Amino acid sequence: MDKKVISGYIKNITAIMVVYAIVFYLIQIKVINNYYNGILILAGIYIIVAASLNLATGYLGQLALGHAGFMAIGAYTAALFAIAVDLPKYVELIAGLILGGVMAGIFGLIIGIPALRLRGDYLGIVTLGFGEIIRIALLNLSFTGGAAGLKGIPRYVNFTEIYFLVVLVIAFLFAFIRSRHGRAILSIKEDEIAAESVGIPTTFYKVYGFVVSAFIAGVGGGALGFYQRILDPKKFNFMFSVEFFIIVVLGGMGSITGTILAALALAFINEFLYSIDELRLVFYALTLIVLMIFKSDGLLGRKEFSLIRLLNRFGKKTKIENAD
């Protein structure tokens, strides 16, 4: 393996551990209190789900407006599994998240095969309808707790678990996008007819990308259940899907690091806007209008923020200045 690649991995791992150590220490000494710790955890869950939506929308180029449905499937599957079994904490957590992701992926496959034959607004309408069907089903099924919600879920998620889950999901997405499968998905977004003409099975990769996206959303839903300890089906409505779509658009469709920045910003902004809930949607609308006027491709567009690249540039500038 190239020395530069190995050096990059070491720097990234070091940066990840340093950020974790700093934030964890601030939580321990109560500089970050329980309230803000809770917002950080929710922001981590938002990053996971929004990043999964970015795979379907930003990289695959398909308009998906029902991601709250996949999240709900993952949340309820993981929660019901944890309630039904009695295993060690981390065994239940890992198995629950995987089961939640798999179940969401299965539903993604079921909805993806017929729906991905459609394009644009039509696909958005189908996925929107799917999300609402899931919500209404959860409201009326007895084993999910119905309208009263599902209670008694063990709390297995805190800052540490969410932090490393986010790192794992983001690392997987970067590796996936840079793989041959990821390049095939990107080629479909750029020009589906050209991709098909060079032998790329476009239908397969559209469904494949959609299923992977649903799987990750299910994992994010499972993490939400293990954090909140109670699941309310009314939470997984159309507006919840729109919030994730706004995060993707705000950060940049096709930028994972942009999604991270936008999710962190909106998670904190959301908390301050809950006291004036009626104005929250107005704020979203105004934010999108301003963004479309001044930066239509989002905060980072299709670029990725790299701390290592920034440090290298700073180092080069310092060397040049010292040489002068």
Q: What integer pLDDT is reported at residue 109 of this predicted model? A: 92
Q: Is this prediction's pTM over 0.85?
A: yes
CA-CA distance, 237 to 69, in Å (whole number)?
8
Q: What integer pLDDT is reported at residue 220 of this predicted model? A: 94
**Token digits of residue 167:** 């790192």
Burial 252-284 (b: 16+ CB within 10 A, else e): bbbbbbbbbbbbbbbbeebeebeeeeeebeeeb
Q: What integer pLDDT is reported at residue 125 of this predicted model? A: 85
- pLDDT tens track, the chain, 324 positions: 567 667 777 877 888 899 999 999 999 998 988 988 999 999 999 999 999 999 988 888 888 888 999 999 999 999 999 999 888 989 999 999 999 999 999 999 998 888 877 766 778 888 888 889 999 999 988 888 888 889 889 999 999 999 999 999 999 999 999 898 889 998 888 888 888 888 888 888 888 999 999 999 999 999 999 999 889 998 888 888 888 988 888 888 888 888 998 888 888 887 777 666 667 677 777 877 887 777 777 777 777 766 566 556 655 555 555 555
Backbone angles phi, psi at 311, to 5 degrees: -65, -40
Q: What integer pLDDT is reported at residue 308 of this predicted model? A: 61
Q: How far apart are the first and last CA of the chain?
A: 36
CA-CA distance, 17 to 316, in Å (whole number)?
25
Q: What integer pLDDT is reported at residue 166 of this predicted model? A: 94
Q: Is the Cα torsion angle 183, 187, 189, 190 positive or negative in sign?
A: positive
DSSP codes of every residue in 30-50:
TSS-HHHHHHHHHHHHHHHHH
Nearest residue to 173 via CA among 54, 278, 2, 262: 54
